[in-house]
Amino acid sequence: MSQQKLSKSKMLLLGFQHVFAMFGATVLVPTLTGLSVSVTLLFAGLGTLLFHLITKKRIPAFLGSSFAFLGGYAAVQSLVTSRSAELGTPINWIPYAGVGVFCAGLIYLLIAALFRSFGPSKVMRYFPPVVTGPIIICIGITLASSAVNNCAANWAIAILAVAVVVIFNIWGKGMFKIIPILLGVVVSYAVAAVFGQVDFTPVKEAAWIGFPIKFEETVFSLFGNANGALLISSLIAMVPISLATVVEHIGDMCAISSTVGENFIADPGLHRSLMGDGLATSLASLFGAPANTTYGENTGVLALTGVYDPLVVRIAAVIAALFSFSPKFAALISCMPTATIGGVSLILYGMISAVGVRNVVENHVDFTKSRNVIIAALIMSLALGIAFSAAGAISFTVGSVTISLSGLAVAAIIGILLNAILPGNDYEFGIDQQGDTSVNFKV
């Protein structure tokens, strides 16, 4: 780690820089899904602190909102809304999504235990790029229609948001290159406000200070009155996504190790970092916050500053948690124009799919082999076909319980099973490091 000695004021300034680096992406997830911005910031901060505690305070990683679960949130929201209409009673979808994400976080713990017991190569054999790549591609494509719908609210504002993100991501210098999403949001938001397209009434009415957690959005609100079918459907929609985010986590750990010059995969070990990420995700989900993931944006800040002290990242975590106690700040985010959200997500969702393509290409997946073609073809046709079908899911009844499977869930299950059953699975994790670390959902 950098041996540079810093004053308290410089440490605080660097902490704010880490907050700005993660801020645009972290608050975008709740804005896109309808989750609470305040709760998201609170558990980004608390989750980061928990991660540091579990990893012996050695890894300078910040945990923010994961984009990989956006498709799962959309699926759960759709399922709960449909069920609510059938029953004629309003049902809050957020606690049900929280149950699914909670269990997805537990998958991290299971895989961490497997890594500890058997080593990475044997475990990752079941999640090769021919499975994870197409799944990631489909995550972005299934979300693209919602981005276009949001852009339609005002294409001029949406295109402005896209242009700002592209300009700063390609030609930006220093910090401007690291935060293109935040700049796209701020510039297009400001222009929309100037032209009178933003209603700031909620901001004026919101209190400066307030408690971020709402009981009705927590998993605890389901105790005693949960719908069993919705619980099972939420689990099936969310849990398979964790298989892709585990690979993302491994890639991020490799990137941080390379940046800092220390092998964090060996010490404190992938089993610890996966455990920290999984527990942070499960904790956040209980209180209505989105899944967490280690952030590549903050790795960029490490490379930019050359300061690798994990204490700086923990300072950023505390700052993020403090921001969560301002409802006025959350209201300002909630007033963001729909077209701004659409423009930013248009790039973001497309880049998720592009990451999947990169995962396949950099790992040199051989599509002259019939097994690989069959696996990728079925994953993509099932994920997209089911998602854009009239029903939007595959539903079946077990006893008195109706279970709905999203396209992504079906595709993930079939892909993993086919890869395990069909002969010719010759993927070896760790042989091609560039390919193994190519999964990264951030811009």
Asked whether residue 167 is domain-assigned, the answer is: no
Residue 280 or residue 129, greater confidence: 280
Residue 163 or residue 258, greater confidence: 163
Residues forming a β-bridge with 405 = 394
Residue 442 or residue 56, greater confidence: 56
Provide mean pLDDT across the span 24-40. Answer: 85
The torsion region of residue 171 among left (phi > 0), alpha (psi -120 to 50) and beta comes to alpha
* pLDDT over 80 at 236, yes or no: yes
Indicate the residue type of 59: I
Confidence of residue 1 (pLDDT cuts 50, 70, 90): very low
Give me the sign of the Cα torsion angle 299, 304, 307, 313. Answer: negative
* pLDDT over 70 at 300, yes or no: no
pLDDT tens column, 87-126: 888 899 999 999 999 999 999 999 999 888 887 777 778 8
Structure tokens given for 74: 């959309």
Of all residues in the chain, the percent with pLDDT exceeding 90 is 32
pLDDT tens column, 184-212: 888 999 999 999 888 889 888 888 999 99
* pLDDT over 70 at 251, yes or no: no
* pLDDT over 80 at 435, yes or no: no
pLDDT at 385: 93
Cβ(441)–Cβ(66) below 8 Å: yes
pLDDT at 261: 77
CA pair distance 169, 179, nearest whole angstrom: 8
CA pair distance 158, 337, nearest whole angstrom: 9
Highest mean pLDDT among 53-62, 66-75, 130-139, 410-419: 53-62
Asked whether residue 408 is domain-assigned, the answer is: yes
pLDDT at 381: 95
pLDDT at 2: 47
pLDDT at 369: 93
Confidence of residue 270 (pLDDT cuts 50, 70, 90): confident
pLDDT at 380: 94
* pLDDT over 60 at 440, yes or no: no
Asked whether residue 174 is domain-assigned, the answer is: no
Asked whether residue 306 is domain-assigned, the answer is: yes
Residues forming a β-bridge with 89 = none
pLDDT at 189: 92
Asked whether residue 160 is domain-assigned, the answer is: no
Confidence of residue 289 (pLDDT cuts 50, 70, 90): very high
Q: What is the mean pLDDT of the chain?
A: 84
CA pair distance 43, 273, nearest whole angstrom: 17
Confidence of residue 411 (pLDDT cuts 50, 70, 90): confident
Using CB atoms within 10 Å of the CB of residue 179, give its burial: 0 to 12 exposed, 13 to 18 middle, 19+ buried: buried
Asked whether residue 156 is domain-assigned, the answer is: no
Highest mean pLDDT among 29-33, 341-345, 417-421: 417-421
Asked whether residue 274 is domain-assigned, the answer is: yes
CA pair distance 391, 404, nearest whole angstrom: 10
CA pair distance 62, 273, nearest whole angstrom: 12
pLDDT at 368: 92
* pLDDT over 80 at 166, yes or no: yes
Cβ(403)–Cβ(396) below 8 Å: yes
CA pair distance 143, 45, nearest whole angstrom: 27
Structure tokens given for 345: 């997500």
Asked whether residue 179 is domain-assigned, the answer is: no
pLDDT tens column, 348-387: 778 778 878 887 888 888 999 999 999 999 999 998 998 8
Confidence of residue 443 (pLDDT cuts 50, 70, 90): very low
CA pair distance 349, 80, nearest whole angstrom: 23
Q: Is the pTM of this model over 0.85?
A: no
Structure tokens given for 186: 């701020």
pLDDT at 118: 85
* Residue range of the domain that includes 417: 8-151+192-337+358-436
CA pair distance 139, 409, nearest whole angstrom: 11
pLDDT at 403: 61
CA pair distance 292, 45, nearest whole angstrom: 10
Domain count, the chain: 1
pLDDT tens column, 45-99: 999 999 999 999 999 999 988 877 887 898 889 889 888 888 888 899 999 999 9
Residue 152, Cα to own-chain centre: how many angstroms? Answer: 25
3-state secondary structure the chain: CCCCCCCHHHHHHHHHHHHHHHHHHHHHHHHHHCCCHHHHHHHHHHHHHHHHHHCCCCCCCCEEECCCCHHHHHHHHHHHHHHHHHHCCCCCHHHHHHHHHHHHHHHHHHHHHHHHHHCHHHHHCCCCHHHHHHHHHHHHHHHHHHHHHHHCCCHHHHHHHHHHHHHHHHHCCCHHHHCHHHHHHHHHHHHHHHCCCCCCHHHHHCCCCCCCCCHHHCHHHHCCCCCHHHHHHHHHHHCCHHHHHHHHHHHHHHHHHHHHCCCCHHHHHHHHHHHHHHHHHHHHHHCCCCCEEECHHHHHHHHHHCCCCHHHHHHHHHHHHHHCCCHHHHHHHHCCCHHHHHHHHHHHHHHHHHHHHHHHHHCCCCCCCHHHHHHHHHHHHHHHHHHCCCCCCEEEEECCEEEEECHHHHHHHHHHHHHHHCCCCCCCCCCCHHHHCCCCCCC
